[in-house]
Chain A
């Protein structure tokens, strides 16, 4: 019992605080992927985008001294990666899943290459809001430190639900994702809509990446994301392409990711690697439990290659 005055209570508390902290990149990537997949394309390259975002965000924050500029830069770089994916997939007979794999490897390699000079120096970090000011225990205060990006993500989820449901842009996006032929017949340009949707997805994933390097874990290294991007893509399927469910799923995954470190905090060191793999195992189990070979998933965009 070395968890301060709280004893074992620190585990659920740390999981909660960790869920808020760890879930932010999941949240941004899954919301971005949600937009992309609603248009009928899947971008598996968001893993690469996430790492590129982390690298560029950290680099710009270090060079400019402003972490928010870093976040913007990460978003811009993510948009570029999305544009690349969207443009290549728009060529005839090019498979979007394969391009995603390629861009995942490319993004991770490129970030590794360009990020070499930024491994050592410390860049200014994003500030956090202390929502635990009322508590006397430092553990509670620590757990309730919330980053502004998380709050933006929280606000973004219902905003996207609303946008998909009622706005003109949301409707066009859904038409393109449900039936490219119908969209064409209505006079909507399918390819540009998909490219824009992929760019938006890349933008959000890039921001999610900047959270990794600018807040938690809060430094740039080549192995900063090991599969968080791809887990988030799987999470969108689990969340049935619903941004609100994406938010809950991201919290769940964040909690799973925080479980291992929080056990360490109370002095349990066994199974460290296995607990760190918890989000992947959880993703796999959830996909096994919720997918079915017999029917199309509820809410799946009909043009999506992954569910056809």
Chain B
């Protein structure tokens, strides 16, 4: 499975090494235009879908634009929703570099948020920077270890990492529910069992002049760092070799186990950080509300960006916008809130199907052979 998935997903498109510059340009254009085409096709399909439900597709289109970028409020909503996606997407994109298909972002998000809440409650009396550092460390380490477990099982026991990481999601949610209804419950939370508060003074604020919390710049910086790590460091290069051709990586003696563990840990750490930010910037207490679905949407972000952390930034904005427009669709057109999930599902399927057309469209091929 390793070789197979890596060839299809993790390995970057051949950049036309040694060819003329514009052949690489054609490959880059292909890498942008094919997903864009798939996206447009998905929107058309979604239009058809809502039309079958008796809703005017043009109105849907108008409200989606209005709800995502139509006003300053909408833009802020979009950006706030994009922030966690940047991080949870890395939970799939980073292990993918080593040829693993991890879908455990939701679990790492939940465990990260839960651990951060515990650290936050424990550090209730500490100074704000200390408490924030403690919560961040707790979220990162817990999320990282959670996904590293799936990586370790893959490497040392041959357990399929897709299935195990998905199972870990359910286990994480069970742990969360068990703790906030039992030992970690604030006795005052009557209707909705929640943990004690981390304290209002220890929460992450918003960027001055906006309603957007600091998770957005953090997410962008982490994505940039992940890109540099993958493309411009020895470790990243070694990881991509392991993901692209496991046998060759073994031949040259790369420490595959360590690379797998590292990428899984970093991916999980990113998702755990997202959970910590969600807790410390939005929710204040751990509760069942930590199960947000950001982890699953992150899988889509990673695949839509073809596992490239740099491309994940615009993709996360796009999906954040889709999520942000859900409210308007519900209010004005009576579409269920699951409508945006359906759209995400259609996009996901179309993007994967579009893998088939790479290198086959005549105009891109001509550019490459000409070069």
Contacts and interface: CB of A to CB of B under 8 A. Distances in A.
A187 to B, nearest CB: 25
A94 B8 contact: yes
Contacts of B338: 109-110, 112-113, 116, 222
B3 interface: yes
A230 B166 CA distance: 8
B356 A98 contact: no
Contact of A292 (B4, B157, B168, B346): B157
Contact of A116 (B153, B168, B336, B341): B336
B160 A237 contact: yes
Contacts of B168: 284
Interface string B11-23: 0000000000000
A95 B8 contact: yes
A292 B154 CA distance: 9
A7 interface: no
A264 interface: no
B46 to A, nearest CB: 11
Interface in A68-85: 84
A280 B178 contact: no
Contacts of B167: 227, 230-231, 234, 280, 283-284
The 9 A-B pairs of least Cβ separation, nearest first, read A106-B345, A109-B341, A277-B174, A293-B158, A91-B356, A112-B338, A102-B348, A113-B338, A273-B178
Interface stretch (A133-141, A159-167, A300-308): A300-308
Contact of A287 (B1, B163, B181): B163
A187 B300 CA distance: 38
A151 to B, nearest CB: 29
A1 B342 CA distance: 48
A88 interface: yes
Contact of B341 (A91, A103, A105, A233): A105
* Most B C-beta atoms less than 10 A away, residue of A102, A270, A288: A102
Contacts of B169: 227
Contact of B355 (A93, A113, A233, A284): A93
Contact of A277 (B5, B8, B171, B181): B171
Given A95-B352, A102-B349, A273 B181 contact: yes
* Most A C-beta atoms less than 10 A away, residue of B162, B296, B303: B162
A105 B1 contact: no
Nearest to A91: B356
A168 interface: no
**Main SS at interface, chain B:** helix
Interface residues of B, number: 51
A293 B157 contact: yes
Interface string B245-273: 00000000000000000000000000000
B171 A93 contact: no
A63 interface: no
Contact of B342 (A109, A226, A292): A109
7 contacts: A105-B300, A227-B169, A234-B160, A237-B163, A284-B159, A292-B157, A293-B155
A146 to B, nearest CB: 28
Contacts of A308: 1-4
Contacts of B355: 91, 93-95
Contacts of A98: 5, 8-9, 101, 303, 352
Contacts of A110: 338, 342, 345
Interface string A103-121: 1011111101100100000
Interface in B285-308: 296, 299-300, 303
Interface string A87-102: 0100111110111011
A268 interface: no
A102 B9 CA distance: 14
A4 interface: no
A88 B349 contact: yes
Nearest to A274: B178
B366 to A, nearest CB: 20
Given A44-B162, A98-B352, A230-B167, 17 more contacts: A88-B353, A93-B8, A94-B8, A94-B356, A95-B4, A101-B103, A102-B300, A108-B341, A109-B338, A109-B341, A113-B341, A274-B174, A288-B157, A291-B160, A305-B1, A306-B160, A308-B2
A180 B169 CA distance: 35
A127 interface: no
A95 B9 contact: yes
A102 B342 contact: no
B109 to A, nearest CB: 16
A281 interface: yes
Contacts of B1: 97, 305-308
A142 interface: no
A102 B345 contact: yes
B170 A287 contact: no
Nearest to A297: B158
Contact of B345 (A97, A109, A231): A109
Nearest to A84: B349
A169 interface: no
B305 to A, nearest CB: 14
Nearest to B167: A280
Interface in A242-301: 270-274, 276-277, 280-281, 283-284, 287-288, 291-294
A107 B163 CA distance: 17
